[in-house]
Amino acid sequence: MEEFNDDFYPLALLMDELKHDDVSNRVEAMQKLDLIAIALGPERTLHELLPFLNDVAQDDEEEVFAVLAEKLGDFVPLVGGHQNAEPLIHILAILGAMEEPIVRDTAVESLNKIAPELTDDELNSLFLELIRSLSQGDWFSKKVASCGLYKSVIVRVDAPLRRELLMLYNSLVSDDSPMVRRSAAKHLPAIIDKLTEYSKENPASSKKVDDNDLEIISKMFHHLINDAQDSVKLLSIDVLVAILEYFYFIQDSSHNSDCLVSALKLIKDDSWRVRYAAADKFSNIANNFKESEADLLRLIDPFIGLMKDNEGEVRKAIAKQLPDFCKLLRDPSIIESKIIPVVDELSQDPHENVRASLASTVTGLSPILSKQSTTDKLLPIFLAMLKDEFPDVRLNIISNLSVVNETIGIQLLSTNLLPAITELAQDGKWRVRLAIIEYIPKLATQLGVEFFNKELLTLCTSWLWDPVFAVRDAAVNNLKDLTTIFGSQWAEVLIITHLLNIRDEKIGDDDVDKEPVNFSNFIIRITCLFAITKLTPELEASVITKKTLPFIHLLIADPVPNLRFNVAKSYLVAAEALAKSDYAEKKKVIETEIVPNVNVLVNDSDVDVRYYGQKSLDSIKELTA
């Protein structure tokens, strides 16, 4: 009897927990469904657990249904394989027909996970019947669910059956319910993409898309672009892109004229939401017309029209498409004469988000135009945007300036850029200061050491004392990157020496107004330690022994435990750097200078210091073993 109870315990426990009054308890119980199935084994899961879940799927809360729908998508191995999938599909069909979107969508997703595991015969007998049943259902939720299932079967059936499915889908596209039409529009691109992908992989197959299929898909598309509901019509943009990509793949330009007319209609639609959707995918649309210069030229005025649109959201979307569209145009003079003047207007747009969007892409025009055009026409726009009152605009321009370097050269750029960098380095928004720091190594590589030392070195060290930790941390990493670029000797002379003499230094360029650095300040001390530790792996062994280690030794008795345990970490970094070097005395230095001091930290009064001291000591012993 005891054995019997043990056998039934997992299922009995689940049943009890799913009767709990609190829905959160029932959700938690359902989360363990796969573990219950594993405990029961495939046979009992199929014959005992699934019938129970079939009842649950018809009488519980939506939160429980959503978890059940998600779990069942991975249940095929737990019921003994695809041949036993029918009960799973039946339960998911119940969940997929529900009105709650999260339950319905999760059930559809799980059904799509199960479909690839079925044989063609199982797909025909189980899945197709389900799709037909849902598509012709008497309630909108069933039809909505059916739309998401077609992509799993559309390339696995023969041509006559696929035509039947497309005709059935066409009825969903023209359904009376806007929710059904919206779902059909949403999932149609995935169906077309599946057909395109299959045609690419199986060019000789009888199952690939043919003219009859294209005619039905074309009918669907024209239904969508003429839909009375904007929420449906805007989804036709993705359908258009999918259709264009198919025609581009099969190198059939005979449909280009009709597609272009449809595209222009959507781009100029009365609804700003439709225009926004068109603007957001403008480059994807244009890319499929790139073989025809005449077609691309017809898109220039609509592109400019979107840049001047009354709605800020539309202008924001089209600004992101700027470089990708301009790359397709073969005549740079058209960009200079028609598009750049509108870009200049857009850089002064009253909506800050539009300007920020433009700032993230406008530098991408530099490689498209000549050096002279970039200097004469684009550089003034960049410099004006670097002074924009909205920090994201400045941030986006700075983050993408490296592409401008490659076009006009760093000398010309830096002449105009350095005043802006100096100003932005003290910007009130710390994220702007952070972006400047992250740009410095790129600038340093182009400038060369002499120019960098003269113009930017003082700025780089001043960031170490920024009031925001993220900026100080970035400044430390910046110094490491600069050491990688300029070498150990540069770091020794200009960075390490500066940090070691920090007591006598002053923060900033103006020695009259600035106070000396207060080394008694914990932040100053730990920042110096962080900087020296970060630079250590990039330094020569002689610099580590003569300068880095003596500085670390000074902090071993620091009154702040946080700093002392970072000293323990620093010793490990120094030991690792020495161990990797070819320094003749490295073992002696580690054993006589580093290990004794780490032992001091191992016996520290603070538990964290002792922990990190012991951790470093163990690692150092492994290095010298």
For every residue of 111-145, DSSP letters joined together read: HHHHGGGS-HHHIIIIIHHHHHHHHT-SSHHHHHH
Instruction: Report DSSP letters for 4-32, one per residue.
Output: HHHHHHHHHHHHHHTT-SSHHHHHHHHHT
Residues with Cβ < 8 Å from 90, sequence gap 6 or more?
Answer: 54
Residues with Cβ < 8 Å from 9, sequence gap 6 or more?
Answer: none
Cα distance between residue 115 and residue 113, in whole Å: 6
Domains, in order of start, for the chain: 1-118 (1.25.10.10), 487-624 (1.25.10.10)
Local confidence band at 506 (pLDDT 50, 70, 90 cut-offs): very low
- pLDDT, mean over the chain: 86
The single-letter DSSP state of residue 545 is: I
pLDDT at 518: 55
Cα distance between residue 277 and residue 323, in whole Å: 18
Give the tens place of pLDDT for each residue, 134-159: 998 888 889 999 999 999 988 888 88
Q: What integer is the mean pLDDT of 215-226?
A: 90
Cα distance between residue 366 and residue 132, in whole Å: 54
Cβ-contact 570, 531 below 8 angstroms: no
Local confidence band at 8 (pLDDT 50, 70, 90 cut-offs): low
Cα distance between residue 66 and residue 468, in whole Å: 44
Q: What is this structure's pTM?
A: 0.73
The residue with greater pLDDT, 465 or 403, is 465
Cβ-contact 36, 14 below 8 angstroms: yes
Phi-psi sector, 7: left (phi>0), alpha (psi -120 to 50), beta: alpha
Reduced DSSP (H G I as helix, E B as strand, rest coil) percent helix, strand, coil of the chain, to 5: 75, 0, 25
The residue with greater pLDDT, 27 or 407, is 27
Give the tens place of pLDDT for each residue, 466-494: 999 999 999 999 999 999 999 989 998 99
Instruction: Report DSSP letters for 258-299, one per residue.
Output: HHHHHHHHHHT-SSHHHHHHHHHTHHHHHHTTTT-HHHHHHH
The length of the chain is 625
pLDDT at 284: 92
Give the tens place of pLDDT for each residue, 153-199: 888 888 889 899 999 999 999 999 999 999 999 999 999 999 888 88
Q: Is the pLDDT of residue 558 over 50?
A: yes
